[in-house]
Structure 1
Amino acid sequence: MIPKAAQMLGLAMRARKVITGEGLVVEAVRNGKAKLVLLAADASANTSKKVQDKCAHYGVPCVSATDRYELGRAIGKDERVTIAVTDGKLAESIQRLLT
C-alpha cells in the first residue's frame, strides 16, 4: 500500500470514519454508509465475491489493496480483510491514491 494512502486510512480511523469486518462492511454498503471499500488481496474467494458483488450492486467503489496485515497496520489494528470508509472526502482521497 502506498504510504500516503495508509496515512489517510489511519486518519480516517482516528476520525471514526472506518468500519471493519466482513459483516459490518456488507451492512454499511447496504445502508449506504460506505463510500469506499478496501479489500485485501489475500481475502478468501468467498469473501471477495460477496463483498465485490455487494459493492457492484449498490454502486460503491471497491479497491483491492495489499495483504490483510498491511491493511490492519494502516489503521493500527491486527489483520483486517475488509475496510469501509464512511466519509466521502476521505474515501475520494484514498481511492485517488490507490488507483
Structure 2
Amino acid sequence: MNKKYLNLLGLANVAKGIVSGETLIKSIAANETKLVVIANDASANTKKKITDKCHFYHVDYFIVDENIETISKAVGKNNRVALGIINQGFAKKIKELIGG
C-alpha cells in the first residue's frame, strides 16, 4: 500500500477538507463526505457504526493498515479513529493511492 496518502490527509486537513468524530457521522448522513478512512485498530463497535453509515449512504470507505496514532499524526490531531474527506479532489486522489 502506498503511504503517500498520509501526506495527502495532512494537506486535506490544512485545506479544511477533513471531518472526524461526531461531525463525521453527521457529514456522512448529509452526503457531504466523499471518502472515509478508518484506522485498523478502531474498536469493532466504531468500525461497525461508521461502515454501516457508509453502506446506507453509499460512501466509499477504507480500513487502512495504519493505527490510530499514525492516522492522528498525519492530520496533526489526537485520537482520530476515522477521517472523512469532504473535498472531492482529495478523496479521488487518496482513493487512488490507497488502491481503490
| Counterparts of 1:57 and 1:19, CA distance in 2 | 19
Provide the rounded CA distance (Å) in 2 between the counterparts of 1:55 and 1:3: 23
Q: Give the TM-score normalised by structure 1.
A: 0.93
Match of residue 5 from structure 1: 5
The one-letter amino acid of 1:85's match is: I
RMSD: 1.1
Partner of 2:38: 39
Give the letter for the 1:12 counterpart. Answer: A
Alpha-carbon distance, 1:79 to partner = 2.5
1:63 matches 2:39:
no
Q: TM-score, structure 2 length as denominator?
A: 0.92
Point out where structure 1 has 5 or more consecutive residues left out of the alignment. none
- Tell me how far 1:3 sits from its aligned partner: 3.3
What CA distance in whole angstroms lies between the structure 2 residues aligned with 1:9 and 1:96? 13
Distance 1:74 1:2, change over 3 A: farther
Question: Which AA in structure 2 matches 1:7?
Answer: N
Runs of 4+ displaced beyond 4 Å: none
| 2:44 equivalent to 1:48 | no
- Paired with 1:76 and 1:3, the residues of 2 have a C-alpha distance of 16
- Counterparts of 1:36 and 1:9 in 2: how far apart (Å)? 11
Give 1:7 deviation, angstroms.
0.9
Q: How many residues align?
A: 98
